[in-house]
Amino acid sequence: LQRDAKGQYLFDLLCHHLNLLEKDYFGIRFVDPDKQRHWLEFTKSVVKQMRAQPPFTMCFRVKFYPTDPAALKEEITRYLVFLQIKRDLYHGRLLCKTSDAALLAAYILQAEIGDYDPGKHPEGYSSKFQFFPKHSEKLERKIAEIHKSELSGQTPATSELNFLRKAQTLETYGVDPHPCKVKQFLNPFLGLLQGNEVTKMKFEGKTFYLYVSQKEEKKIVLTYFAPTPEACKHLWKCGIENQAFYKLEKSSQVRTVSSSNLFFKGSRFRYSGRVAKEVMESSAKIKREPPEIHRAGLVPSRSCPSITHGPRLSSVPRTRRRAVHISIMEG
């Protein structure tokens, strides 16, 4: 990768590789040597954002979860969001009751292995796949029961669509968890939502302040404590972007936000993309033949730490490559 190549160049290259037009919901995430997560900033040099030495490892992720994922214009976009939510389910980020968990897992089975076939799927076949961090034999039986009796005939696209519709109804759909402490409580996670109640955010060192407007014009300030100043700054930046994307009517309303503190010399940040309303309006204008989708299948192994989520990409032509590796919804 050329030293002066900006994040936007890398992101556009990746979206071109995926044949993805509804790209504003996605981003590129990386982890620095201190295990701190970051979103790649598109207006800055890729190389200058990396604190590690090449090869650079990054991940393609959903950054802004669609309010109604089933309403996305193109199947390729729905498929990529499906992969992200499937990953959220596996890592315990998407919480749900047992009946919902069984249905979601059955949709995944139908989408990725097709109709139940007694010749291919012996007793206990659903136990060979891991959809959640932990699950019981009872849940495995329920998953297989739904897959056998209720989903036969559904195409992968239909099963993925039904999966999205169900996932969207869950309370933790689209929540981006950040490790924080709240006074005496240890290790809770602060999850950023799409709500309109937040009026302001700021951080000072490891302390994050959330200003919330409640009914009857009552305003409160919620205080959280991040593990490090860098983690707190990352939380603040994610919050600023989240609010801009979901709340604003148009990107011209975006303003530079500052949070004065001693650790980062009065950090300033500005969201640089389009907002949700603009993205949906743009999607409605897409007119092309649906691109071919190369779906990844499930890995039938309990010992495997993850489900296969998608292809890997060496991101640039070999003659211009500075060792960049990007995984697509993987791991």
Average pLDDT score over residue span 303-314: 40
Fold of the domain built from segment(s) 175-293: PH-domain like (2.30.29)
* Peptide bond before residue 55 is cis, with ω within 30 degrees of 0: yes
Q: Has residue 237 got a pLDDT over 80? A: yes
Average pLDDT score over residue span 208-234: 87
- Collapsing DSSP to helix, strand or coil, 42 comes out as coil
Average pLDDT score over residue span 273-300: 89
CA torsion through residues 35, 36, 39, 40, sign: negative
CA torsion through residues 4, 314, 330, 69, sign: positive
- The 10s digit of each residue's pLDDT in 131-173 is 999 989 999 999 999 999 999 999 999 999 999 999 999 999 9
Boundaries of every domain in the chain: 76-168, 175-293
Average pLDDT score over residue span 55-65: 95
Q: Are strands 56-62 and 324-328 parallel, antiparallel or unpaired?
A: parallel
pLDDT at 184: 54
Average pLDDT score over residue span 3-22: 95
38: confidence class by pLDDT, cuts 50, 70, 90: very high
Assigned CATH class of 76-168: mainly alpha
**Claim: this prediction has a pTM higher than 0.95:** no
173: which residues sit within 8 A by CB, 6+ positions away? Answer: 65, 85, 94, 167
Average pLDDT score over residue span 91-104: 96
263: confidence class by pLDDT, cuts 50, 70, 90: low
Average pLDDT score over residue span 174-183: 86
